[in-house]
Amino acid sequence: MAFENITLPESGEKITMGDDGTLNVPNEPIVAFIEGDGIGPDIWSATQKVLGTAIEKAYGGERKLAWMEVFAGEKAWNLYGQGDEAWLPDETLAAFNEYLIGLKGPLTTPIGEGFTSLNVALRQKLDLYTCLRPVKYFKGTPSPVKRPQDVDMAIFRENSEDIYAGIEWPAGSDDVKKVIKFLQDEMGVTKIRFPESSGIGIKPVSSEGTKRLVRAAIQYAIENEQKSVTLVHKGNIMKYTEGGFRNWGYEVAKEEFGAVEIGDGPWCELPNGIVIKDCIADIALQQVLTRAKEFDVIATLNLNGDYLSDALAAQVGGIGIAPGANINYDTGHAIFEATHGTAPKYAGKNMVNPSSMMLSGAMMLRYMGWDEAAGLVEKGIMGAIQAKTVTYDFERLMDDAVKLSTSEFGGAVIDHMDDAAISGEEADQYDELAAKFKELFESGADKTSEVAHVAMEKAREQLTHAGAFTEEQGQKLKGFLERDFGQIATNVRNEAKIKLNPARLGHGALASISSLLQAAGSALSGAAVKTGASLSCRSGEITSAGTLTCKDCGHSMHFKKTGRIPPCPKCHKTDFTKGY
């Protein structure tokens, strides 16, 4: 179809839905996007680069996205005539209808009177009945709870009904008076405590709306090998709406998936072992905090889902790192979105966290079947966080972190896509080797450079023989240990033998032998000469605690414990010197 202000990309093909209910995704699909208001342009720019790079790395140029900008919010209002209908133009809805999949930034949503939330309007007009909010902890993310790593669940929030349907009338209006009169006169309602000053809203919940949501949640649990689906509701109070949701949810499990009641019910179990259970909403809000491991997939109504998804996001770092999608699994239509607001005071400052938008983009890639590219996006974000190269919202909550702009963080994410597998096990193996070396080195009478290197080799041999790591891993870790030991020896020599403060070595076995190194003094000075060029550190290597300084731009990174070296967060180069 022809559009007024939407420009089709020069190349690309439509994504379609097959008769069998599967998506047909070409190698260059046309994907609609809404840049968003406020901070939208900043996070969109970073996200577009990250997604493009991930796709290039994953598929070597054989696949790419053909982006097509569509308009909503303030940008649309200025472009389409500044009327009420301009906030969400008809051709934007038509474009999403035709091209199925899109990615969007945050849109202006005034509180109180005014136009309806554009986010809600998009969901309702396109019948995107499922709001999918996966919540997962990325190691290293600052969190206010003790065990954020226990949170790993997906929330299926019903999008089309509940009080978000927007059926309400303001207090004192002629319409609300009609509704109250009807309730009192025709329905015999006597429980409106202050009828003269009450606003009234209606909460529609249907069996059809409930069943399609719960059906999608159970199917997701099956496909992703989850252990349970929990129906969260307030059926103890709202028996015919929230209670109906609970009952209809169990019906779907039994009638369509062959679930059988456990004991006296109502909990039931699918033939593959997935348990379908329910939980009162206020109890669920407690237990996702205190018993997070008991929840895998949650299916719930609109308002409960809103509360739960944002509360869970707070446990794993906040909505700045929380992705989301609005999906109609029957038609294939899906819009993936940043879950936070427009943050107008930060607009154009290039400082906010783009992770929500990036991870929503990764969700989109998985929905399209491009799992490899999605994995690179997630890997890059995880690597940047673990390297403590983050935007201001995380930097202020982390020790020795480097504050990056939005665009710089995008660059860091791209850099970490090429990381070798980030593994705490490797750091532990390094520390185990260092501890064994310390034991052997301390037991000898002489404390020379030669004795130290013999002790390192013996430590490697013993741990390799014991199965702590492979021969190849042992040789690599020994090389890192020799490098770090030589660097410490250099500092001992350069600081008049005894001025090296043990606290500057951080934690680990190398730090614990600092006094021994000081006592050895000049006898170890040869270690620096022997290791020679190996005193340089490179991205991807393991290093003990210390300060790494980029050889290119001079930026410093501080390690308090053993870890993998990231690229420089400022210039993205990979060579460093090390000090203490």
Instruction: State residue 484's pLDDT score.
Output: 79
β-pair partners for 104: 34, 337
| pLDDT above 80: residue 487 | no
Q: Tell me the percentage of the chain whose pLDDT exceeds 90.
A: 64
Instruction: State residue 421's pLDDT score.
Output: 52
The distance of Cα 188 from the centroid of its chain, to the nearest Å, equals: 50
Mean pLDDT of the chain: 88
- Pairwise pLDDT comparison (313 vs 579), residue with the higher score: 313
Report yes or no: 440 and 478 within 8 Å, Cβ to Cβ. no
* pLDDT band at residue 535 under the 50/70/90 scheme: low
Report yes or no: 176 and 169 within 8 Å, Cβ to Cβ. yes
- Pairwise pLDDT comparison (505 vs 125), residue with the higher score: 125
How does pLDDT run across 207-262, given as a tens digit for each residue? 999 999 999 999 999 999 999 999 999 999 999 999 999 999 999 999 999 999 99
Q: Could you tell me which of 78, 70, 74, 75 has the C-alpha nearest to residue 95? A: 70
Residues 306, 393, 418, 575: which is the catalytic one? 306
Report yes or no: 536 and 465 within 8 Å, Cβ to Cβ. no
Residues 164, 250, 329, 392: which is the catalytic one? 164
- Pairwise pLDDT comparison (484 vs 376), residue with the higher score: 376
| pLDDT above 70: residue 442 | yes
Instruction: State residue 489's pLDDT score.
Output: 66
* pLDDT band at residue 420 under the 50/70/90 scheme: low
Report yes or no: 65 and 51 within 8 Å, Cβ to Cβ. yes
226 half-sphere exposure, CB direction, 13 A CA radius: 24
Q: Could you tell me which of 497, 295, 391 has the C-alpha nearest to residue 46? A: 391
Report yes or no: 402 and 388 within 8 Å, Cβ to Cβ. yes
* pLDDT band at residue 494 under the 50/70/90 scheme: low
Instruction: State residue 422's pLDDT score.
Output: 43
- Pairwise pLDDT comparison (316 vs 540), residue with the higher score: 316
Q: Is 164 a catalytic residue?
A: yes
Q: Could you tell me which of 117, 207, 125 has the C-alpha nearest to residue 160? A: 125
Mean pLDDT of 62-84: 92
Q: Is the peptide bond before 266 cis (omega within 30 degrees of 0)?
A: yes
* pLDDT band at residue 528 under the 50/70/90 scheme: very low
How does pLDDT run across 103-160, given as a tens digit for each residue? 999 998 655 455 568 888 899 899 999 999 999 999 889 999 999 999 999 999 999 9
22 by Cβ neighbours in 10 Å (0-12 / 13-18 / 19+) ranks as exposed
Structure tokens at 323: 């992705």
* pLDDT band at residue 569 under the 50/70/90 scheme: confident
| pLDDT above 50: residue 349 | yes
Residues 282, 310, 393, 418: which is the catalytic one? 282
Q: Could you tell me which of 71, 87, 66, 8 has the C-alpha nearest to residue 36? A: 71
3-state secondary structure of 463: helix
Instruction: State residue 481's pLDDT score.
Output: 84
Instruction: State residue 229's pLDDT score.
Output: 98
Instruction: State residue 423's pLDDT score.
Output: 53
Q: Is 282 a catalytic residue?
A: yes
| pLDDT above 70: residue 495 | no
The per-residue b/e assignment along 31-68, b for 16 or more CB within 10 angstroms, e otherwise, is bbbbbbbbbbbbbbbbbbbbbebbbebbeeeebbbbbb
Instruction: State residue 491's pLDDT score.
Output: 61
The two beta strands, 275-280 and 228-233, are: parallel
- Residue 566 DSSP symbol: P
Instruction: State residue 530's pLDDT score.
Output: 41
- Pairwise pLDDT comparison (433 vs 113), residue with the higher score: 433
Instruction: State residue 454's pLDDT score.
Output: 87
Range from 196-205, 448-457, 517-526 that averages highest in pLDDT: 196-205
Q: What is the pTM of this model?
A: 0.78
Domains of the chain: 1-143+321-371 (3.40.718.10), 147-153+161-167+202-315 (3.40.718.10), 424-579 (no CATH)
Distance spanning both ends of the chain, measured CA to CA: 65
Instruction: State residue 505's pLDDT score.
Output: 39
Note the maximum CA span of the chain: 100
State the helix-helix crossing angle for 90-99 and 118-125, rounded to 10 degrees. 50
378: CB partners within 8 A, 6+ apart: 359, 362
- Pairwise pLDDT comparison (203 vs 499), residue with the higher score: 203
Report yes or no: 359 and 377 within 8 Å, Cβ to Cβ. yes
| pLDDT above 60: residue 498 | no
Instruction: State residue 525's pLDDT score.
Output: 46
The two beta strands, 66-69 and 30-34, are: parallel
CA 32/CA 34 separation, integer angstroms? 7
Instruction: State residue 120's pLDDT score.
Output: 86
| pLDDT above 80: residue 533 | no
CA 185/CA 434 separation, integer angstroms? 83
304 by Cβ neighbours in 10 Å (0-12 / 13-18 / 19+) ranks as buried
CA 51/CA 361 separation, integer angstroms? 7
Helix, strand, coil percentages, rounded to 5, for the chain: 45, 15, 40
Q: Please name the helix (run of DSSP H) or strand (run of DSSP E) that holds residue 550, with its range, or none.
A: strand 546-550
Residues 75, 104, 203, 234: which is the catalytic one? 234
From residue 346, give the alpha-carbon distance in Å to each of 42, 312, 349, 392, 406: 10, 24, 6, 12, 11
* pLDDT band at residue 318 under the 50/70/90 scheme: very high
Instruction: State residue 429's pLDDT score.
Output: 85
Q: Please name the helix (run of DSSP H) or strand (run of DSSP E) that holds residue 577, with its range, or none.
A: strand 575-579
3-state secondary structure of 126: coil
How does pLDDT run across 59-71, given as a tens digit for each residue? 999 999 999 999 9
